[in-house]
Structure 1
Amino acid sequence: MAACVHTVRHLFITRGAQICTAIPAPQATSLDGNGLQSATLVRMVAFAAGRASSRTPAFRDIPFPNQPLRAPTVAEARAQGRLILIAEDDRINQIVILRQIEVLGYAGEVASNGAEALRLLDSGPYALLLTDLHMPDMDGYSLAQAIRREEARRQRPGQQRLPILALTANALRGEAIRAEAAGMDACLTKPMQLHLFEAALRKWLPQEVGRSESSSVPGANASALRTAAGVMHIELLNSLIGDDPAMVRGLLREYQISSRRLAERMDAAFLAEDFARLGSIAHELKSSSRSVGALNLGDLCAELENACRTLVRQSIACSMSDFDAELQVFDAHLDEWIALTA
């Protein structure tokens, strides 16, 4: 069967003032390759293929990664009541989803399976859960069912129902029905187009709640939240192990020794550029920090863990710097608190 040559469209990437005249203009689009950005290339491929027009809103308004919104830190998003939890076992998918929500101006934290996601949900508030359906240890269906059972058991007046969005590479209708039956609110197909993903997040994420004054200032970070949130949350630790001062002091001292040791291992991993190892240590310290009420440190460990997933050295270095500064502040506050309570 003969090819329909007249329907073939071409996108020529030229250099500077070079002009391609090999074929008639209606089938050809020319693009200067000097300083070419990936988002521009994507837009022009869509234009050349006849899938978009430069005069249509669909072409103009789709947000692309070269025009990102400012994403909050994990600490800021938690203070705003808009932190997203992502349950996804595939490492590449983790990186892609984290990058997408960052581009859209949100912050997230990753759990590698349903069981880990449940533990994170028990340790702190999240505004939205994005979950893969097929994961080891606990899949997305079981995770959603466990969450809905716990919500029904508590039945607290005014308690918010956690929005749960399924992420699936299988677009079959039966899977969406099963996800809904498990208690999920919507089903998104991977890979997610950015504008559709944004629409889903706008629909299901709550409006900002509990926003602190410091977090509303552009450029605020976890360090700036210390005054509002506090470096140490002793009341959280008391709720877990009781209010025996000697026991609390002993546990915090153990944590201080452990965190310093882990920090040394983190420094070594960073110098060796072993970012997988660095992210693993940050994950370990994140959990223990939140358990003892060092919430700022825990959130900074989450930031560092996220950065290690992307393998962007500059982001990892910035997160390491923030973590080191916060650890010094925590140590100073802990020493002062122990002196006052001894």
Structure 2
Amino acid sequence: MQAIKPITYNPKIGKEFSTTLNKRVRAYFKENNISRYANANMKIKTIFMISLFFIPLGFLLSTLVQSIWLTGLLYFIMGLGTAGIGLSIMHDANHGSYSKNDKVNKALGGLLNLVGGFAPTWRMQHNVLHHTYTNVHGYDEDIQPPGVLRFSPNEERKKIHKFQHLYAWFFYGLMTFSWITAKDFKQLNRYKKMGILDTEKDSYGWLLTKLIFFKVVYYTIALVLPMLIIDIAWYWFVIFVFMYHFVAGLILALVFQPAHVIPETEFVDTKGETSIDNNFMIHQMQTTANFAPESRILYWLIGGLNYQVEHHLFPNICHVHYKKISKIVRETAKEYNVPYNSHTTFFKAIAYHTKLLKSLGRA
């Protein structure tokens, strides 16, 4: 693995669109005297999502639970809490959009470490690679899944991919399970070779030390201590931990995949070049999609990430504002003839994602 070659965009193309859009969004916050960070609604959601994980965990670490089925239910709820923390709290915090206080962002972003992931490698994959090079072949790891899946027409097609629209859902459920096994270790070593560790302030040795420490903490609180406290067979805990991560992984995948891997979004292959002849913001519009924009419940539960277009344009704005600024983005895109991809419902977005999986598996 060689050091990554940074790719540049052409700011002259579509400059008027990006300048106008940025100006209008800034004006929205200024004219309404609104902070771009978390509001009261966001803070209430934070308490709810954190409780959804740590209250069940607290019961598991007490002596009050000795039933197999109650234990399983608590782990299931923890899976929902893990997804909730990932989508609604740590995502904003690790983008620096939760609070103007960096310490608050770091603390809330670090919640990922306690639910099985590792915040530094997540930021490198998500903030650096995915957001900078969305749907760019060889750069965006979100469209470079394990070999049994094919998310981009620029990736090699294998015979097994013919059936990926049927079996992909199982592998989606393994997303956070990979967090608690080898993924973070592999990423840390890979990112060192790619030369992007400098986006974090810590050295490789210190990052590795913290990674090992938090994995030990996670396994202790999520598996070892419950096994010692609850009087049921050990294998139930293995089953339940797998189940709760499968629930969390599937939810996360079902939110993120329809945002970039659908027929309407574009996939870019630079063919070795270190520049993309496109405006960065227009590139984000072409490679990203929204879904279910009218669903208030979904908007609240998944951290506003049904407005992925707005998130990719303004990752430094807390998600509670996406619905309001989406009107500005949509109207400006129409004015400048820039695509604004959006599906009316969540299930329609999933159907189109499935359609592309099937197409990529057969062509």
Q: Same fold (TM over 0.5)?
A: no
State which structure, 1 or 2, has the greater radius of gyration over its C-alpha atoms.
1
Structure having the higher helix fraction is 2
Q: Scaled by the length of structure 1, what TM-score is found?
A: 0.29
Q: Scaled by the length of structure 2, what TM-score is found?
A: 0.28
